[in-house]
Amino acid sequence: MDFKLSEEQQLIRDSIRDFTQRYVAPGVKERDAKKEFPHDLIEQLAEQGFMGMIHPEEYGGSGVDHISFCLAIEELARWDASLALTVASHTSLGSGHIALAGSDEQKKQYLVPLARGQQLAAWCLTEPGSGSDASGLKTTATKDGNQWVLNGSKIFITQGSVADIYVVLAKTDHGQGTRGISTFIVESSREGVQPGHKMDKLGMNSSDTTEVYFEDVRIPETNLLGELGKGFVDTMKVLDGGRIGIGALSVGIARGALEESIKYAGERSQFGSPIGDFQAIETKLADMATEIDAARFLVHRAAWLKDQGKPYTQAASKGKLFASELAVRAADQAVQIHGGYGYIKEYHAERFLRDAKLMTIGEGTSEIQRMIIARELKKEFWN
């Protein structure tokens, strides 16, 4: 496997890096403090084709590979993890599920405007009583003539109050377990769809996160996404791909923590020398840099396997697990290197730490990733 970036990949990385430094970095503290969703930045990213990067050109996307997608998400997350999360969840989860399981007609109707960034998608899986055990969801979809009627609620939904399109998991057959779960495309404008209040979170403050309620929501039978009863199977595939994006996002946060620490360590003097000359600080910086390279390798390997059409479930979980836990470690070290200044909002370090923690929870906790990795290992060596 050759990790040398192609000219196109380098161009994408450099383009999004320039955009991020020009337009994202300057307002990131203010957006975090005000908890403002960056509608203007989403529009600008859409104009440049970054809201549907991995989707086929025939359906409004840019048709780039997943390594390019990882490079873009990392660059965004280096400065603004909330914005990176919006792009990643919209692309990999919401519109990604339609790209995976949708019919040609559904892709033309829904994926095209989503991939172009003309609309935003939200992926509705998690419920108040159903998190890691995704099969325990309670939302139902009942057939009534040529319509489906949805009832239930979802929680921790990214883009929950700003989405135009919801991709919703619901039970269609209570007696079939995971084989009784199906997926539906639901327009936010439909009667009975009601987003809840924005959730007050530890971090990711400018990412929109809410509950979403569905009360007797009627949708046409053609809004069934994929095969009846195959929603859970498709969801597992969507999550595999989504973990690649979360891994790249985690690398971006860790890189931000490192770069801000290097800068601060060169500016801050104690005992007559920059603190970056002290061995204790050098060790922290060296460990952070080494682990970031390792995390990026793992994430890009999973992306490469996906691009090659090879099995990548284990690789995606490894990348997500290592990178997400690294993001927390690196951000924690950044706060330590900054000392008292790392604890105040004048500097970026404390925000990296607040944002990083979600990476070990969202799209499968670290505990779930270890279960998946162990399961895949046993398949490989026990069968």
Q: Annotated catalytic sites, by residue?
A: 363
Q: What is the DSSP string of 49-87?
A: T-SSTTS-GGGTS----HHHHHHHHHHHHHH-HHHHHHH
CA distance 23 to 139: 40
121, 164 Cβ separation under 8 angstroms:
yes
Dihedral of the CA atoms 26, 30, 35, 40 (nearest 10)? -40
Phi and psi at 170, nearest 5°, equal -150, 155
356: tokens are 């990083």
Separation of alpha carbons 108 and 354, rounded Å: 39
Q: Tokens standing for 257?
A: 């923590």
Phi, psi of 102 (to 5 degrees): -75, 150
